[in-house]
Amino acid sequence: MRKSGILMHISSLPSPWGIGTLGAESKKFIDFLAKSGQSYWQVLPVSPTGYGDSPYQSFSSYAGNPYFIDLDTLNEWGLLERCEYYEINWGNDHEHTDFGLLYENRFKVLRKAAKRLLQAESPEFNDFCSTSAFWLDDYALFMALKESYGGVSWNEWESALRFREECAINEARQRLSSEIDFYKVVQFLFFRQWNAFKGYAAEKGISIIGDIPIYVAPDSADVWSNPCLFMLDENLMPIDVAGCPPDAYTATGQLWGNPLYNWDEIKKDGYSWWISRIKHQFDLYDVLRIDHFRGLDEFYTIPFGSQTAEYGTWRKGPGMDLFYAIKNALGEKQIIAEDLGFLNDSVRKLLRDSGFPGMKVLQFAFDRREDSDYLPHNFPRNCVAYTSTHDNNTIVGWFNSAPTGDVKKAFDYLRIHEDESVAKAILCSLWGSVADLAIAPMQDLLELDESARMNTPSTLGGNWQWRMNPSTDLSDISAWLKHITELYGR
């Protein structure tokens, strides 16, 4: 069935508290989607942000982002007084997130809420700790230890804790018990609010599309608590790390630095770690996009310590063996494969065998030198078509900066007149395509330029900050979006 939706991360919602949250504005956005005839809201990973404030570099692939906990809701629950967060400086720019201010101030406020909840001795909290213990215990200890070490990476901790020696771990649990409880409360508050958010979306007929990074961050509870599942040496340092080889866009490739999976070890127990991770994602989302899908067919390995990604090698991944195991354990699940970038026949075969829809990004379609699989007349039905993604410029930004010949091809293909909206023409082209699902980032729906870009890959600083202006009037946009959705049968 033909459907459509909007991509906007939770952090990009309007909010007086420095970043978008799971509060009233999230419900207003769900109402906007429903009123506009949409079926999906796509978000980025909602796990805690780590290095570079990226949702793709998290301290845990299970935990929720503390910044998304809505403070007004905590006030309604009797866990905060208004004066405890109203008088704090969360930043003066309502269209960008100041992660520095959040880091300095948010946890001070959350500690007050956590103290009140712990004093109340909540049975609901105790149940959450029990059912989530399989990941929560290690995560809360990891974060408490990390704080006690001044925030440094776990591979800089003392040897006994790095290697998780039983006596050292038991001593740390006792010594840091109050901090461990704090981090558990924060997760309880996040998931309580998330479940209410997801329930409201379901009531309004909106399904949530989530995103799972294929790799986990090197400085994470995932690696610290499961070192045997990763390619680490005897000192628990990476042997090789993840990235992408040089291409037409990056002369030295992309050096991500994530530790690589030890697939032989992971396979020994039937991929239980991956199955658990995927199951948890479907507790959060209705549909899951797997980032860097091609890495499950073949993955690029770069020697640890390399300064660039130029001298790596390709190795075989688990392929369909992993997806058979996931299907046997969890049943049929709705998965989107992020299959962008260089694809060979082996990756294409994995995509066909899995049956998952791949991605088509219209912004990539207009290279004047060649025909493209990203042009709508070449789309298969089983795909998800995007105007752009979180890693691209906005549509307006692309038209402002792309080569003249590419822009001319886009104008010719889309039959755009000089005085017409290029963003709306792109949306109409996607909504009218044969793709089963069409998605547009909110920035493209708002016709924003490059200043609203979410992320520029391989750069550090200035990313992940965009927020929708709280004064934005969505009434006309909603009417137009509903019109084209009905017009093209979505």
Among all residues, which ones are annotated catalytic? 291, 338, 391
Distance of CA 91 to the CA centre of its chain: 24
The total number of residues shown for the chain amounts to 490
Give the sheet arrangement for strand 40-42, strand by strand: 335-337, 287-290, 207-212, 40-42, 3-7, 437-441, 383-386, 358-361
Question: What whole-number distance in Å separates Cα of residue 180 and Cα of residue 174?
Answer: 9
Q: Where are the beta strands (DSSP E) in 132-268?
A: 207-212, 240-244, 254-259
DSSP 377: G
Using a 10 angstrom Cβ sphere, with 0-12 exposed, 13-18 middle and 19 or more buried, the burial of residue 421 is middle
Beta-bridge mates of residue 440: 6
Contacts of 325 (CB under 8 A, 6+ apart): 270, 271, 274, 275
Element (H, E) at 300: strand 298-303
Selection from 245, 262, 239 nearest residue 313 by Cα: 245
Selection from 339, 363, 365, 342 nearest residue 352 by Cα: 339
Question: What whole-number distance in Å separates Cα of residue 211 and Cα of residue 446?
Answer: 23
